[in-house]
């Protein structure tokens, strides 16, 4: 009788060990599959990040922040480029605060009951600026030249402009 109990215990132990082995193997296989899936996703995301960084570099190519020649031009004249870029941008945004219907730099009159406002400013280099404007319904873009006179004042000169036709 005692030998049968040991035999049953042995068989039970073997079955338990076998069950544990198969269960552990399935868990490990699942983890390995998950790890491969996540590694693939990481590689895909890394390639997407590289692509986006390249696109960002291309989109920011015409930007004063990346134009070393324009920065050196201002620095050679003794200007702090960070403050100057901020002053140029703020000078255009300050033009949004005007009286009447005529914007100081935008050559159009609002066709709605709202004022024309400059929305976005991109300083291309030490001489050129591109901005867009809108009255909430109609919008367009202007190309400006700018310079700093001997008194240190900013002067903007309208070079080219257009308004997009309204699409219904």
Whether 104 is covered by a domain: the verdict is yes
Specify whether 27 is located in the same domain as 41.
Answer: yes
Decide: 121 and 132 in contact? Cβ < 8 Å: no
Q: Beta-carbon neighbour count of residue 95 at 10 Å?
A: 18
Domain boundary among 42, 59, 76: 59
Specify whether 119 is located in the same domain as 136.
Answer: yes
Number of domains in the chain: 2
Query: pLDDT for 14-69, tens place per residue?
Result: 999 999 999 999 999 999 999 999 999 999 999 999 999 999 888 888 888 888 88
Query: pLDDT for 121-159, tens place per residue?
Result: 999 999 999 999 998 889 999 999 999 988 888 999 999
Domain boundary among 59, 78, 102: 59
Answer yes or no: pTM beyond 0.85: no
Whether 81 is covered by a domain: the verdict is yes
Query: pLDDT for 67-82, tens place per residue?
Result: 888 899 989 988 898 8
Q: Is the pLDDT of residue 2 over 90?
A: no
What pLDDT is recorded for position 19?
A: 92
Structural domain span for residue 132: 64-163
Q: Is the pLDDT of residue 168 over 70?
A: no
DSSP code of residue 66: G
Specify whether 53 is located in the same domain as 72.
Answer: no
In sequence order, the 6+-apart residues with CB closer than 8 A to the CB of 157 are 144, 145, 146, 147
* 101 vs 28: which has the higher pLDDT: 28
The DSSP bridge partners found for residue 134 are 117, 139
Q: ∠44-49-50 over CA atoms, to 5°?
A: 100
Whether 168 is covered by a domain: the verdict is no
């Amino acid at each position: 009788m005692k030998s049968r109990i040991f035999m049953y215990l042995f068989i039970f132990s073997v079955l338990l060990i076998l069950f544990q082995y198969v269960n552990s193997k399935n868990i490990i296989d699942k983890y390995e599959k998950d790890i491969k899936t996540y590694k693939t996703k990481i590689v895909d995301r890394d390639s997407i990040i590289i692509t986006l960084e390249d696109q960002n570099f291309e989109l920011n190519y015409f930007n004063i922040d990346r134009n070393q020649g324009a920065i050196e031009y201002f620095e050679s004249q003794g200007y702090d480029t960070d403050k100057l870029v901020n002053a140029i941008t703020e000078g255009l945004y300050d033009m949004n605060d005007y009286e009447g219907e005529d914007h100081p730099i935008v050559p159009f009159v609002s066709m709605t009951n709202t004022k024309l406002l400059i929305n976005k400013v991109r300083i291309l280099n030490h001489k050129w600026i591109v901005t867009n404007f809108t009255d909430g319904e109609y919008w367009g873009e202007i190309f400006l030249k700018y310079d700093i006179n001997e008194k240190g004042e900013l002067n903007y000169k309208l070079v080219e402009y257009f308004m997009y036709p309204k699409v219904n």
